[in-house]
Amino acid sequence: MSFSLLELADGFQAYAHSGMEARFIYQEIFEDHSYVLPELPKAPLIVDVGANIGLFCIYAKRAYPEARVMAFEPAPESLRALRLNLELHRLDEVTVHPFCLGSERNDRASFAYYPRLPGNSTLCPEEQVPFKARLSELLGKTLTTSLFTPRQLTVRVERLSHVLADTEPTDADIDLVKVDVEGAELDVLGGIDDRDWPRIRNLVVEVADTSGKLCAIETLLHDRGFTVSSAPTTFMDQGLPFYYLTATRG
């Protein structure tokens, strides 16, 4: 699929293969400030799980120019756009990992990639059913079916703790973990070993509250010593159960 260099706002450009979605994500992150960044050290370590085309990486680096970012994105087309955007915005200290995170290592996981809606691509396509049903009401069944027609990819999955063991000192703080993985949030958190949880200072997680998932994540993080809050997203139709969850240690 071809890329375009888009003007997402006055003075802000980014490469993307879905202009509609890129503008939506730009508004979500840069205008609505949906991911509220906590107060972090001057040079924090940030883990971006579900980096897509890199808009959150850019947002985080603008807030903390000396941050080191570990960005995880498995879809080849989104990965290419991510690398182009990091170069375009001259961002250094961003390490790109071309795979998913989950609770178990897997070299051949099935991944539903949506070329017309790449930010919704997922290891858990069944989690998209309520979203697709509501979009069908709003946009019509034909358009929604087109947006959610997947290209099936085979991707690699690693555990976050295994990646950290290979790349970071064992006593280094992880100042922020951002998770936006379209239904696989609990699986990502399941890839963090007991020894690594005390290192994590803050999390921001986008959650689609299907099958009690929001409560399960809140309980998990409470049990790990975090103060947790969540609120419905403001950018989605109110008929959809999307939430932003923030967790701070202490």
Q: What is the pLDDT of residues 98-115, one digit of tens each?
A: 999 999 999 999 999 999
Give Cα separations from 240 to 14, 128, 210 (angstroms). Answer: 28, 11, 10
Checking if the pLDDT of 236 tops 60, the result is no
- Indicate the pairing of strand 151-158 with strand 106-113: antiparallel
**CATH T-level assignment (fold) for domain 4-101+160-249:** Rossmann fold (3.40.50)
Domain boundaries, the chain: 4-101+160-249
Which pLDDT score, from 0 to 100, does residue 3 have?
81
Q: What is the pLDDT of residues 112-158, one digit of tens each?
A: 999 988 999 999 988 877 778 877 888 899 988 888 899 999 999 99
* Three-state secondary structure call for residue 178: strand
Q: What is the pLDDT of residues 161-193, one digit of tens each?
A: 999 999 888 888 999 999 999 989 999 999 999
Q: What is the pLDDT of residues 60-80, one digit of tens each?
A: 999 999 999 999 999 999 999
Q: What is the pLDDT of residues 185-203, one digit of tens each?
A: 999 999 999 999 999 999 9
Token pair 């993307």 is found at 16
Confidence of residue 58 (pLDDT cuts 50, 70, 90): very high
Which pLDDT score, from 0 to 100, does residue 129 have?
79
Which pLDDT score, from 0 to 100, does residue 160 have?
98
Confidence of residue 220 (pLDDT cuts 50, 70, 90): very high
Amino acid found at 27: Q
Q: What is the pLDDT of residues 22-53, one digit of tens each?
A: 998 999 999 988 888 889 999 999 999 999 99
Which pLDDT score, from 0 to 100, does residue 232 have?
85
Confidence of residue 1 (pLDDT cuts 50, 70, 90): low
CA nearest to 59, candidates 86, 79, 19, 96: 86
Give Cα separations from 137 to 66, 118, 131, 215, 239 (angstroms). Answer: 45, 21, 10, 27, 11
Which pLDDT score, from 0 to 100, does residue 239 have?
61
Checking if the pLDDT of 235 tops 80, the result is no
Q: What is the pLDDT of residues 5-18, one digit of tens each?
A: 999 999 999 999 88
